[in-house]
């Protein structure tokens, strides 16, 4: 079961609710099938999730990929049986009897609030609040996908269970389309593509931190500098702040109380001090930016002050949760904090939304917005929240952006806009965020002198467009399948000589391209030209340039684009001009 099952009101429409019910029901069918294949299995929870479902189980041994076929066969028999899902209200005492051999269920029975219900299908009973489809026969079009490890209730101090994932759709066509996209996603996996292109590596000596190789560093640098130039042109100031801070900073900000478990700490015995001091690698930039604002007296005439910082951050993620570039321990963001007067907030958010549109449109990434409003446990009065939420809503509407309302999903210190990009496979990735903060300025006692010569407290806007560079690069690798547009490609041109007779001309071609700022690689190896072209394909340059004796005699180059698009013969000057014109950053 899912500990906090969603009600109908949590879904955008009836279709989403029905799909959730189907997936949740299929998780129960899978659990029954696991018990058939592995008698005595111990069950944790089995919720519906985006694109499918899972169940956490302990079967006494590792569940292998080969076991998934046997579980699927048992599921088919349960579906064919077409048993109804029967709901029953039970007391805690009755539930304890039913699940007396299920230790994880017994733990849930003790921790869950409110009344308890079970669902039964053909003799198999599970603790659950629903919802479910009417019968097992409704879940015909399913597929089991993978097995991974998962600590019980997400706590590494608890037993490690096995999480069996699957998916289900109302029709065979929808399932086949999803499986096709899944296979395409495997081919585009940024870990596979990035390794083949020589962008980065990982090593067990530094879990969760990427080693950026020359071409990967080039890709990082292009994005970093493009964003820096964009922001400096929009009135931002760039800073670089320390990486290691005394814990007192995070006590002042409140992060020590709420975020300490995700921080890397260092204990240092300072000279002349009796007790060692505790330091932490910073997990975010905002506290240090508060110190910069507080370092001098501020006037309303200076506001807004927009501070940009691409410094290195560290967050102590669980090792089992790490995943290539999309979940790391060491990261950097295109981070910024805007210090402004309350009446400036809507304008600043308006401008930010325009920046987001410029960047994502240039990258060919459609996007969609979510507005998260006040949670039940919030700081500040309703009047303040009304103004804050109104400012975000007004900026969204001014920019003509549709948005999903996530009521109650804001942070305790302010509402926010989260923005998802949609990649070439239709997958949504949360990247940009625009978050209002009325509490950190108070904690740090930040003030500015207003036009009335009185001190006022500024509002802080936390914002990022890429999010973390690591995660955003991982998204881009999969979106483009490594075939980056000209301005972003770490290798734009590959020059290849047919033989050593044309090597001199090949070197001259590469040198002139490089002198014009084109990112070029030269292959003068003894390999045949067919082998050179095949090797170049793995690096995915935009242009493949071949020079042989004819080209050397004519002072020309033979050029092909991606997908073997033959661009014919052209002069070197024409190639240089083409490459330079196409290399301009589009935002």
Secondary structure of 454-504 in HEC code, one letter for each residue: CEECCEEEEEECCCEHHHHHHHHHHHHCCCCCCCCCCCCEEEEECCHHHHH
Q: Are residues 275 and 292 in the same domain?
A: no
CATH number of the domain where residue 569 is located = 3.40.50.800
Residue 156 designated active-site: no
From the candidates 190, 255, 462, 463, give the one annotated as an active-site residue: 462
Of 375-384, 429-438, 464-473, the least confident: 375-384
587 belongs to a structural domain: no
Distance CA 504, CA 522 (A): 11
Q: What confidence score (pLDDT) does residue 10 get? A: 53
Residue finishing a domain among 281, 308, 342: 281
Residues 304 and 232 in one domain: yes
Domain that holds residue 374: 200-243+282-480
Residues 28 and 157 grouped into a single domain = yes
Q: Which of the residues 42, 105, 282, 315 is marked catalytic?
A: 315
- Cα torsion angle, 527, 531, 534, 535, sign: negative
User: 197-206, 265-274, 431-440: which range is least confident on average?
Assistant: 265-274
For residues 320 and 413, state if they share a domain: yes
| Residue where one domain finishes, among candidates 235, 255, 281 | 281
**Of the listed 102, 121, 333, 435, which one is catalytic?**
333
Confidence of residue 319 (pLDDT cuts 50, 70, 90): confident
Report residue 181: phi and psi, to 5°: -65, -35
Distance (Å, rounded) from C-alpha 359 to C-alpha 463?
14
Question: What's the pLDDT tens digit per position in 340-355?
Answer: 999 999 999 999 999 9
More confident: 261 or 14: 261
Is the same domain home to 304 and 356? yes
Show which of 431, 451, 480 is a domain's final residue: 480
Same domain, 439 and 297: yes
Question: Does a structural domain hold residue 385?
Answer: yes
Q: Give yes or no: residues 268 and 403 share one domain.
A: no
Query: What's the mean pLDDT when you consider all of the chain?
Result: 93
Annotated active-site residue 314? The verdict is no
Catalytic residue among 416, 494, 532, 540: 416
Establish if 382 belongs to a structural domain: yes
pLDDT at 380: 78
In this structure, the answer to whether residues 499 and 445 fall within a common structural domain is: no
Structure tokens belonging to residue 525: 């190896």
Task: Give the SS3 label for residue 349.
Answer: helix
In this predicted structure, what is the pLDDT of residue 2? Answer: 41
Please report the pLDDT score of residue 1 as a whole number.
41
Give yes or no: 335 in active site. yes
Taking the C-alpha atoms of residue 161 and residue 45, their distance in angstroms, rounded to an integer, is 10
Q: Which of 9, 2, 27 is nearest to 85 (CA)?
A: 27
Is residue 315 part of the annotated active site? The answer reads yes
User: Is 466 inside a domain boundary?
Assistant: yes
140 assigned to some structural domain: yes
What is the per-residue pLDDT for 155?
83
- Per the structure, the count of domains in the chain is 4
CATH code of residue 348: 3.30.930.10
- In the predicted structure, residue 11 carries a pLDDT above the cut 60: no
Q: What is the CATH number of the domain that holds 59?
A: 3.30.980.10
Residues 94-107 pLDDT 10s: 999 999 999 999 99
Classify residue 195: in a domain, yes or no.
no
Residue 2 lies in a domain: no
Q: Per residue in 109-136, pLDDT tens?
A: 988 887 899 999 999 999 998 889 999 9
Same domain, 294 and 334: yes
Given the residues 337, 393, 456, 471, the one annotated as active site: 337
pLDDT digits (tens, 9 = 90+) for 436-491: 999 899 999 999 999 999 999 999 999 999 999 999 999 999 999 999 999 999 99
Q: Same structural domain for residues 213 and 304?
A: yes
Q: Give the pLDDT of residue 114.
A: 78
Note whether residue 204 is domain-resident: yes
Range 553-580 average pLDDT: 93
- What does DSSP say about strands 305-309 and 236-239: parallel, antiparallel, or unpaired? parallel
Are residues 252 and 229 located together in one domain of the fold?
A: no
Is the model more confident about 123 or about 12? 123
Residue 94 DSSP SS3: helix
Q: What residues contact 370, with CB distance under 8 A and at least 6 apart?
A: 403, 404, 405, 406, 409, 417, 418, 419, 420
Catalytic site residue 340? no
Residues 367 and 410 in one domain: yes
């Amino acid at each position: 079961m899912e500990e906090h099952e969603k009600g109908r009101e949590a879904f955008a429409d009836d279709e989403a609710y029905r799909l959730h019910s189907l997936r949740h029901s299929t998780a129960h069918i899978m659990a029954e099938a696991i018990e058939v294949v592995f008698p005595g299995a111990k069950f944790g929870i089995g919720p519906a999730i985006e694109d499918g479902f899972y169940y956490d189980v302990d079967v006494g041994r590792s569940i292998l990929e080969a076991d998934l076929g046997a579980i699927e066969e048992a599921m088919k028999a349960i579906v064919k049986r077409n048993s109804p899902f029967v709901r029953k209200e039970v007391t805690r005492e009755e539930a304890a009897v039913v699940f007396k051999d299920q230790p994880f269920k017994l733990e849930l029975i003790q921790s869950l609030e409110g009344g308890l219900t079970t669902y039964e299908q053909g003799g198999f009973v599970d603790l659950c609040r629903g919802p479910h489809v009417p019968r097992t026969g409704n879940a015909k079009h399913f597929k089991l996908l993978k097995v991974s490890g998962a600590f019980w209730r997400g706590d590494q101090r608890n037993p490690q269970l096995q999480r069996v994932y699957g998916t289900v759709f109302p029709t065979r066509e929808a399932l086949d389309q999803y499986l096709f996209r899944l296979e395409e996603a495997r081919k585009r996996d940024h870990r596979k593509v990035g390794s083949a292109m020589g962008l980065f590596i990982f090593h067990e000596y530094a879990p969760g931190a990427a080693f950026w190789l020359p071409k990967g560093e080039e890709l990082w640098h292009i994005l970093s500098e493009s964003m820096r130039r964009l922001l400096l042109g929009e009135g931002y100031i760039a800073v670089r702040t320390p990486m290691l801070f005394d814990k007192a900073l995070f006590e002042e900000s409140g992060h020590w109380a709420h975020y300490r478990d995700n921080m890397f700490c260092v204990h240092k015995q300072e000279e002349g001090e009796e007790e060692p001091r505790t330091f932490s690698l910073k997990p975010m930039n905002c506290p240090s930016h508060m110190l910069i604002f507080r370092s001098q007296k501020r006037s309303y005439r200076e506001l807004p002050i927009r501070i940009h910082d691409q410094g290195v951050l560290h967050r102590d993620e669980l090792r089992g949760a790490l995943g290539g570039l999309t979940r790391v321990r060491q990261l950097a963001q295109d981070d910024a904090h805007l210090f402004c007067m309350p009446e400036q907030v809507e304008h600043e958010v308006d401008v930010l939304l325009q920046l987001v549109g410029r960047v994502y449109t240039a990258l060919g990434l459609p996007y969609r917005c979510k507005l998260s409003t006040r949670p039940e446990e919030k700081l500040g009065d309703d009047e303040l929240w009304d103004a804050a939420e109104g400012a975000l809503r007004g900026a969204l509407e001014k920019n003509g952006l549709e948005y999903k309302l996530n009521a109650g999903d804001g942070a305790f210190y302010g509402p926010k806009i989260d923005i998802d990009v949609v990649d070439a496979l239709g997958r949504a990735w949360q990247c940009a965020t625009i978050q209002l903060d009325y509490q950190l300025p108070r904690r740090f006692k930040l003030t500015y002198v207003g036009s009335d010569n009185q001190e006022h407290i500024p509002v802080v806007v936390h914002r990022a467009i890429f999010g973390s560079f690591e995660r955003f690069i991982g998204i881009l690798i999969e979106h483009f399948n490594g075939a980056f547009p000209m301005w972003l490609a770490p290798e734009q041109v590959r020059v290849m000589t047919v033989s050593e007779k044309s090597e001199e001309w090949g070197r001259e071609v590469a040198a002139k391209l490089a002198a014009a700022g084109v990112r070029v690689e030269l292959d003068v190896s003894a390999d045949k030209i067919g082998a050179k072209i095949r090797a170049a394909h793995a690096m995915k340059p935009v242009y493949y340039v071949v020079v042989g004796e004819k080209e050397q005699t004519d002072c020309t180059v033979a050029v092909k684009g991606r997908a073997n698009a033959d661009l014919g013969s052209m002069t070197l000057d024409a190639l240089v001009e083409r490459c330079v014109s196409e290399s301009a950053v589009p935002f």
